[in-house]
Amino acid sequence: MAVLKAENIRLVYGAGTAFEKTALKDLSFEIEKGEFIGIIGHTGSGKSTLVQLLNGLLRPTYGKIYLNGKDIWHEPKKIREVRFKVGMVFQYPEYQLFEETVYKDISFGPVNMGLSEEEIDKRVREAAGFVGLKDELLTKSPFDLSGGEKRRAAIAGVIAMDPDVLILDEPTAGLDPLGRDALLSQISSYHSVRKNTVLLVSHSMEDIARIADRILVLSHGEKVMLDTAENVFSRGSELEELGLRVPQITRIMMLLRESGIPVNTNILTVEQAFNEIVNLSV
Amino acid sequence: MGRDITLGQFMPGHSVIHRLDARSKILLLISYIVFIFIAGNYMSLLLITMASLLVVLSTRISFKMYLKSMRVILFVVLFTGILNIFYGSGEVLWEWWIIKITQGGINNAIFVTVRIATLVMISSVLTFTTSPSDLTDAIERLLKPLTVFHIKVHEIAMMMTIALRFIPVLLEETDKIMNAQKARGADMESGNVFKRVKALIPVLIPLFVSSFRRANDLAMAMECRCYNGGKGRTRMRILRFSGVDLFALIFSLVIFSGVILCNIYFSPLTR
Ligand SMILES: Nc1ncnc2c1ncn2[C@@H]1O[C@H](COP(=O)(O)OP(=O)(O)O)[C@@H](O)[C@H]1O
Ligand SMILES: [Mg+2]
């Protein structure tokens, strides 16, 4: 059964005012348990709106969202339960830190869930481990951390709730290339250890091409594609029209093929490309 | 949340009212308010209300927006209106036990309600049609004479501009932080007063931190561009009186004289 299912969801901001804006238009899709989904689209395409709908922070103007087969708005009073199950890391999450220590901040979610003290301690340490926060940082004030460490602490705060579905909205925005790669590989290893569903929002193909099982492409609030990376990239020209880009290395392989060199274009990383080209000349 | 507040929100446009100099708008608004209270009988009240409605319509902004800004004070208006029915002198129209409804009471109720409604409407005209920067600019220019008394008019206006400029930013930020904490299970909608106040801490602390950060950045940016107060500072957009302002002035003077004449020629109201 699909862990998340969206049925004809539409979201209109400021309905009935001069600022009315339809951010999502009749979106439908299903996400299977354990999948790693990349969500991509240009700025303003509705990515953040979509993920906020999925954990019940926004309520669809029309349509339904099912979590494990149950309509999340069936009982609006129990929406908190949905938020525990669908963990959400916002863009620039470091601005939400508030506690005296990093440890306390990470435990904010688990405490709200009403867990026992040992369970909370276990979860906080596990979550910190996943994002690579060293133990000695846990007793520091979150405001004394570096930018990258703050972001990790904030992400750990959501991971500590052990959600069935983890959503990250542009988690690498503003990080340097090294920090970006490190964070992405931590998220990827979290996914392979915990085996739960992860949704990663990004506007960079490079980021998600390697790690996502399937990619959801949004444009102007509409679903354009939901498919594997290979299939999405095989429609490269359509992507370019949407202002998106296939990863540079994939593009190089496509150009090679166009100019008559028989290489495979299902290439997402430099290593794959290297092997492909080396094999070719043999 | 905050996005629903329309009281004091600028809506760009090209109507006659939009084109008025912000200084004229402020001065005329003040005189309209004075004359709403000078109006002493139904004829003069009708005249000033009609004139205000005409101004409202000529802004070409949907009447819905005005109704929305009135909704905020609807309760106050209704409450004072109803209360006023029971206080008044003159002919008793209806009596039961200790409750007496008089002609004066009804007059009072109608007057209070219409006055407040007109007041809010005409004030909204100023905030709906004037950009915050024009508004503070105009206030600065109007208060300029006060510099004689060593009042730092420019600095006050600059603080107002910055405050106004950052209200939407802060509202948006509050929204974001609240959502982020709600996503971690913060419960802000239920519980008693203490619980709710406590639930605000996870929102207020990040908000303060980021406000200070923003203030710091802004101060730095202003300093980098050699801002050093109002002395010798020129403006990109210069406020200028034009034909429209003259027209508005004449229109208003006609209405104001009408109000005074109505007050003189028709009998005052029983209260
Ligand atoms: N709170 C809001 N109120 C009104 N409009 C909004 C709000 N949030 C987003 N929008 C609008 O909805 C559209 C989609 O925004 P968003 O989901 O943030 O896109 P993305 O995350 O893909 O950049 C944009 O046009 C944006 O201006
Ligand atoms: Mg976004």
Q: What is the dihedral of CA A144, A147, A152, A154, to 10 degrees?
A: 70
Residue spans per domain, chain A? 32-61+72-229
Q: Which residues contact B75 (CB under 8 A, 6 or more apart)?
A: none
Asked if residue A27 has pLDDT above 60, the reply is: yes
Cα distances from A219 to residues A60, A125, A204, in angstroms, run: 18, 39, 14
Burial category of B270 from C-beta neighbours within 10 Å (exposed 0-12, middle 13-18, buried 19 and up): middle
Q: Which residues contact B258 (CB under 8 A, 6 or more apart)?
A: B44, B47
Beta-carbon separation of A97 and B179 below 8 A? no
Are the C-beta atoms of residues A10 and A63 closer than 8 Å to each other? Answer: yes
Binned at pLDDT 50, 70 and 90, residue B2 comes out as: very low
- B227-260 per-position pLDDT tens digit: 887 777 787 777 788 899 999 999 999 999 999 9
Q: Is A48 on the interface with B (CB under 8 A)?
A: no
Tell me which residue in B179, B205, B210 faces A52 most closely, judged by beta carbons. Answer: B179
Higher model confidence: residue B137 or residue B92?
Answer: B137
* Tokens encoding B132: 């915050």
Burial category of A260 from C-beta neighbours within 10 Å (exposed 0-12, middle 13-18, buried 19 and up): exposed
> E strands within A33-164?
36-40, 62-67, 70-71, 86-89
Q: Is the CB of A47 under 6 A from ligand 1?
A: yes
pTM score, whole prediction: 0.75
Are the C-beta atoms of residues A22 and A12 closer than 8 Å to each other? Answer: yes
Residue spans per domain, chain B? 2-265
Instruction: Report how far residue B149's alpha carbon sits from residue B165's, in angstroms, rounded to the nearest whole number.
Output: 28
A227 - beta bridge partners? A215
Fold of A32-61+72-229: Rossmann fold (3.40.50)
Asked if residue B212 has pLDDT above 50, the reply is: yes
Which of B176, B184, B201 to mutate to test binding with chain A, by most A CBs within 10 Å of its CB?
B184
A153 - beta bridge partners? none
Q: Which residues contact A231 (CB under 8 A, 6 or more apart)?
A: A225
pLDDT score for A282: 62
- B56-76 per-position pLDDT tens digit: 999 988 888 888 888 878 888
Q: Is the CB of A14 under 6 A from ligand 1?
A: yes
Instruction: Report how far residue A177's alpha carbon sits from residue A173's, in angstroms, rounded to the nearest whole number.
Output: 10
Query: Which ranges constitute the DSSP H helices of B147-192?
Result: 153-183
- B139-165 per-position pLDDT tens digit: 888 988 988 888 888 888 888 888 877
* Tokens encoding B241: 């009186």
Q: Which residues of B touch A157 (CB under 8 A)?
A: 184
Q: Å from B173 to nearest chain A CA?
A: 10
Higher model confidence: residue B58 or residue B102?
Answer: B58
